[in-house]
Structures are given as structure tokens and as C-alpha cells.
Amino acid sequence: MTTNIVPLVLIGGLTSAGVYLLLERNLTRMLLGLLLIGNAVNLLIIVAGGPSGNPPIRGRTSDGQEVTADPLAQAMILTAIVITMGVAAFVLAMAYRSYRLTTEEEVGPDPEDARVSEMAATDEVTLGADRPRTEMPRDTDLPDELDAIPGFEGSK
């Protein structure tokens, strides 16, 4: 089986452009990146599905083809299209909700992530490279301030 180089280059270009757009902080660009990657996956399934041929129905022929087309690739592409559109609708709804709440489409830095990063940096400085970190205490079944239901002690 020989494969044409043009679809493979197109798949690589769509994937790289999609990854580049996914790394942006703009939600519309993230959505476009997801759609490009979804289309690249569909093209990859088409290329991996093999050459076209007769319809996968017994007794049907098409233009004197000798082989039968693979119905699994067609079914997988239809499924991938539905999944891509579902994910696109979800991201579009998140972008709309974010815009309605903050009136901007840009995703800002997460303050909790910055706080955790600062804590890790100060822990490295205070612990030093020569002293090992102490292990975290093992979790018990007793409730504490971090449990979701502090008054719940389980069924006994």
C-alpha cells in the first residue's frame, strides 16, 4: 500500500496549527485549535482506512473496483465528528459564560496556581538542597478540617 505524502503533510500542518492555537489564552482561539485538531484526526482516520472501493453492502459494485471500502473508518469518522462538535459546543458555552461574567474573552492567570507556585519556591529555599523533605502524614478515617463532610464518621 502506498500513501500519498500530501495528506500526511496536511495532517501535520493542521495538528501543529491546532496545538499552537490551543496554547493561546483566548477562548475563541482555543476553540479553533480544537476544531483543527479534530479535522486532523478525521483526515488521519481517512488515510489509515485505506483506499476507496466498493460500498460495504453485499452485491453492490462501484466503477469496477476490486476491493471493498472499510466501513470501520467511515463509522469512526462519523463518531469523531459528533464528539468534536460536542466538545466545540461545550467550549463555546464556557466562552460565552466567561464573557458574560468577566466581559473579556482572555483567560487570565490563576491566582491559586501562582500561590501554590510561590509556596513551592519558598519551601525549596527554606528546606535547602541538602535536607530531605518530611513526608506528609498518612490520611486516617477520622474527620478533619479538610474533609468534605466533617461530621460524618462513616457507618459502623
Residue 138's contacts (CB-CB under 8 Å, 6 or more residues apart) are none
Cα–Cα distance for residue pair 35/46, rounded to 1 Å: 17
- pLDDT digits over 70-124, tens only? 888 889 999 999 999 999 999 999 888 888 888 887 777 778 888 888 888 776 6
All domains of the chain in start order, with CATH: 1-55+67-127 (1.10.287.3510)
pLDDT over threshold 50, residue 155 = no
Q: What is the DSSP string of 1-39?
A: ----HHHHHHHHHHHHHHHHHHTSSBHHHHHHHHHHHHH
The partner residues of 26 in beta bridges, in order of sequence, read 106
Position 22 scores a pLDDT of 92
Return the SS3 of 54: strand
Where is pLDDT greater, at 135 or 88?
88
Query: Band of the pLDDT at 156, cuts 50, 70, 90?
Result: very low
- pLDDT digits over 11-53, tens only? 999 999 999 999 988 888 999 999 999 999 999 998 888 877 7
Query: Band of the pLDDT at 129, cuts 50, 70, 90?
Result: low
Where is pLDDT greater, at 49 or 127?
49
Where is pLDDT greater, at 133 or 113?
113
Query: Band of the pLDDT at 67, cuts 50, 70, 90?
Result: confident
Residue 154 φ/ψ region, left for φ over 0, alpha for ψ in the -120 to 50 degree band, beta for the rest: left
pLDDT over threshold 80, residue 2 = no
Q: What is the pTM of this model?
A: 0.64
